[in-house]
Structure 1
Amino acid sequence: MQKLIRITTIPLSLEKLLEGQLTYMSQYYEVTAVAAEKERLNKYGQKNKVNTFWVEMTRAITPIKDLKAVWKLYKFFKEEKPEIVHTHTPKAGIVGMLAAKLAGVPLRLHTVAGLPLMETTGTKRKILDQVEKLTYRLATKVFPNSRGLKQIILKEGFAEENKLKVLGKGSSNGIDTKYFDPYSFKEDQKKNKRQSLGIPREDFVFIFIGRLVSEKGINELVDAFKKLHKKNQNISLLLVGPFEKELDPLKQDTFNSIKTHEKIITTGYQEDVRPYFAIANALAFPSYREGFPNVVMQAGAMILPAIVSDINGCNEIIVEGINGVIIPVKDTSALFSAMELFVENRNYTNRLSSNAREEICKYYERKEFWQILLKEYKNLEKEYIKS
């Protein structure tokens, strides 16, 4: 059986961004998952019935650690002789592609699910630009996970068009619409969940799911919500996800508001986000940058209309006036207006809601995406691997 090695910086990306995908591929390849955090990676391997290989990697710029990771992976690839190495996330991309190229791996694939460097400036930005270019140069093929992301890569001059391909309609993994099924939650379950979180039954609930950091638009979201709450007390903001105080912390004012506002509820990181979607009325997702956000697809499958920023991925999943509203990036007043529209005009919101699931089922079903990726592997093998 041919060997496929999939690499992400941390196991969380394997668990969430690629959920189920490696297990599916193990029917066709001998699959090894590579990431940092040894214990969590081992658990992932056992649960998903794939091999694992631990390499220390960090999301920060750490040249010495990164070179050690390249060397460790290079030796591993020389030993294993995989046909395909497929990387995700920026750090795993540069480390994995460099090691794979040096080891002579015939098929080197990299998925781009976002460009964190777009929010950086100065010397750091110049370094990250060069790293990105090198990653793409080392890869045989690069998969931007949205059409908008492909255009940004071309505009920034990171790669030539013939090296890039968007799989299907976009995404890195599609979505399991049977799992994200709003009809599997009964009314009494939803009522109890709201009660346990202290959310009044009559409240219109805006939900955000993701890391509670500045680049996700949380500062703007909290400001817009506070302003709207002064006009309408029957609303709540449900924030599902962890704070990250090191890499991209929130403004202190925002953090204080989250902790003290009676109608802003936080849950921390949650393994299963469906019960939270089930009690919400709309997704508010004013992120500054994304690849192809799973959260927006998940919300749609759970019949939630969405307010999203006009950024790649978001503006491909959401069609203005069909399943949501698109607002300019970092625009608190536009976010406020969209949130107010959702609360004040329930007929409009209900209409968006009624279209939401259908749009997702039509274009982003997970198993179809897996088949598209498998077909791509097989086609590339014919092109690049000598039989």
Structure 2
Amino acid sequence: MAKLFRITTVPVSVEKLLGKQLTFMNQFYEVTAISSDKEDLERVGQELGVKTKAIEMTRKITPIQDLKSLWQMYCYLKKEKPGIVHTHTPKAGLIGMIAAKLAGTKVRLHTVAGLPLMETSGVKRRVLNLVEKLTYACATKVYPNSYGLKDFILKEKFCPPHKLKVIGNGSTNGIDTAYFDPALFSPQQKKEIRQQWQLEDGDFVWIFVGRLVKDKGINELVAAFRQLTEELNDSENKNSTIDNRRNRAPKLLLVGPLEPELDPLLPETLREMEHNKNILTVGYQKDVRPYLAAADALIFPSYREGFPNVVMQAGAMELPSIVTNINGCNEIVKNNENGMIISIKNKDQIYNALLRLMANLSLYNKMKSQAREYIVQHYDQKLIWNAILAEYRELTNK
């Protein structure tokens, strides 16, 4: 059985980005997951039933550690002689693709699931551009996980068109629509989840899932939500200009970790998150389904994405989504059909979208009714897995 090595920078990407896709591929190849943090990686490998190899890599620019990682990766690939090396995430892509080329691996694949350089400039941008070009030059095939990302790569001339391919309708791993299914949660369970976080039956619960960082649009989201709650509170004893509000109090549920060392939020955003009783911050959650089940709609105002899993997950759980007009998001969401699309870094548009979806019950119900069907038809996990497997077979047969 041929060896397939899947490489990410940190184990959480193995677990969350790839997950049971590795278990599926292990039926056809001898799969090894390579990443940092031996202890955590071994735990993930045991859960997925695949071999693991720990090679320390960092997410930052660390030349000395990167050279050490490259040497260790090269030695391991040279020794094991995998048939396919498939990398994910920027640092793992750079180290994995260079090492695989030097080691003589014939099939070298890299998936692009988002580009941090989109939000950088100056010297750092030039360095990151060079990193992408070098990674793609060492790969035999590059897979942007959205059509918007493919267009961006072509525009920046990171590699020739013949190397690029979007698999299926996009996405790195698709969505397990049997796992993300609102039918798994009874009305009583949803009520209990809401009660756990002191959410009233009549509250309209917005949910954000992801890292609580600047690039995810959290500063603008919190500012817009503050404006929304203040205006709704002011209108309670006046003639409200908000028609059809139906007395639903807005609540914002933030599910995800803070990363102050990489992409910190503004001090005023952190203060608002701490003191606004309508904002609930619950941290990282291994299983986000109960929180999606308890919510009414997703708000995801990210600056950049590859192909965001959370938008697919929310759709599969029958939630309409408000997303920014960026690649991936604007492919999953069709404006005014299963959600709404707004401009990036625009607090006013976030505010107006929050208000509109809360106030317009018929629009909300229309979007909710179409959310899950669209995901099942276009992004079911089995469709993506089989498309990737077919790609592997075609490339190895060549």
User: What TM-score, normalized by structure 2, do the two folds share?
Assistant: 0.95
Equivalent residue for 2:340? 325
Correspondence list, 1:112-261, <5 A: 112-232=112-232, 234-261=249-276
Deviation at 1:361, TM superposition (A): 0.2
**Amino acid aligned to 2:213:** V
Deviation at 1:161, TM superposition (A): 0.8
Q: In structure 2, what is the Cα distance between the partners aligned to 1:297 and 1:70?
A: 34
**Amino acid aligned to 2:302:** S
**Amino acid aligned to 1:34:** I
Deviation at 1:46, TM superposition (A): 1.1
Equivalent residue for 1:45? 45
Equivalent residue for 2:306? 291
> Structure 2, unaligned stretches of length 5 or more?
234-248
Equivalent residue for 2:245? none
**Amino acid aligned to 1:275:** P
1:207-264 CA-to-partner distances (Å, cap 9, x unmatched) read 0000000000000110111111123351100000000010100000001100110000
**Amino acid aligned to 1:227:** Q
1:276 aligns with 2:291: yes
Equivalent residue for 1:312? 327
> Structure 1, unaligned stretches of length 5 or more?
none
Q: In structure 2, what is the Cα distance between the partners aligned to 1:108 and 1:275?
A: 38
**Amino acid aligned to 1:38:** K
Q: In structure 2, what is the Cα distance between the partners aligned to 1:250 and 1:305?
A: 26
**Amino acid aligned to 2:353:** A
1:372 aligns with 2:387: yes
For the 8 Å contact 2:6–2:87, the answer to whether it is kept is: yes
Correspondence list, 1:62-81, <5 A: 62-81=62-81
After the TM superposition, which of the residue ranges 87-96 and 120-129 deviates more from structure 2?
120-129
Deviation at 1:272, TM superposition (A): 0.4
Cα RMSD after superposing both structures: 0.7
The SS at the match of 2:283 is: coil
Q: In structure 2, what is the Cα distance between the partners aligned to 1:292 and 1:70?
A: 28
**Amino acid aligned to 2:368:** S
**Amino acid aligned to 1:107:** V
Deviation at 1:326, TM superposition (A): 0.3
1:136-173 CA-to-partner distances (Å, cap 9, x unmatched) read 00000000000000000001111111000000000000
Q: In structure 2, what is the Cα distance between the partners aligned to 1:86 and 1:229?
A: 47
**Amino acid aligned to 2:172:** S
Deviation at 1:377, TM superposition (A): 0.4
Deviation at 1:186, TM superposition (A): 1.0
The SS at the match of 2:318 is: coil
Q: In structure 1, what is the Cα distance between the partners aligned to 2:109 and 2:349?
A: 39
Q: In structure 2, what is the Cα distance between the partners aligned to 1:27 and 1:248?
A: 39
Question: Match for 1:302 among 300, 313, 317?
Answer: 317
Question: Match for 1:357 among 372, 386, 397?
Answer: 372
The SS at the match of 1:232 is: helix
Deviation at 1:121, TM superposition (A): 1.3
Deviation at 1:125, TM superposition (A): 0.9
Deviation at 1:195, TM superposition (A): 1.0
Deviation at 1:76, TM superposition (A): 0.5
**Amino acid aligned to 1:192:** E
For the 8 Å contact 2:205–2:250, the answer to whether it is kept is: yes
For the 8 Å contact 2:113–2:144, the answer to whether it is kept is: yes
1:14 aligns with 2:14: yes
After the TM superposition, which of the residue ranges 237-246 and 223-232 deviates more from structure 2?
223-232
**Amino acid aligned to 1:23:** T
For the 8 Å contact 2:19–2:48, the answer to whether it is kept is: no
Deviation at 1:86, TM superposition (A): 0.2
Q: In structure 2, what is the Cα distance between the partners aligned to 1:194 and 1:46?
A: 33
The SS at the match of 2:323 is: strand
Equivalent residue for 2:241? none
Q: In structure 2, what is the Cα distance between the partners aligned to 1:361 and 1:186?
A: 21
**Amino acid aligned to 1:217:** G
Q: In structure 2, what is the Cα distance between the partners aligned to 1:271 and 1:50?
A: 20
The SS at the match of 1:34 is: strand
Deviation at 1:367, TM superposition (A): 1.1
**Amino acid aligned to 2:182:** P
Equivalent residue for 1:347? 362
Equivalent residue for 1:31? 31
The SS at the match of 1:17 is: helix
Q: In structure 2, what is the Cα distance between the partners aligned to 1:129 and 1:300?
A: 33
Q: In structure 2, what is the Cα distance between the partners aligned to 1:357 and 1:46?
A: 31
Q: In structure 2, what is the Cα distance between the partners aligned to 1:137 and 1:18?
A: 24
**Amino acid aligned to 1:321:** N
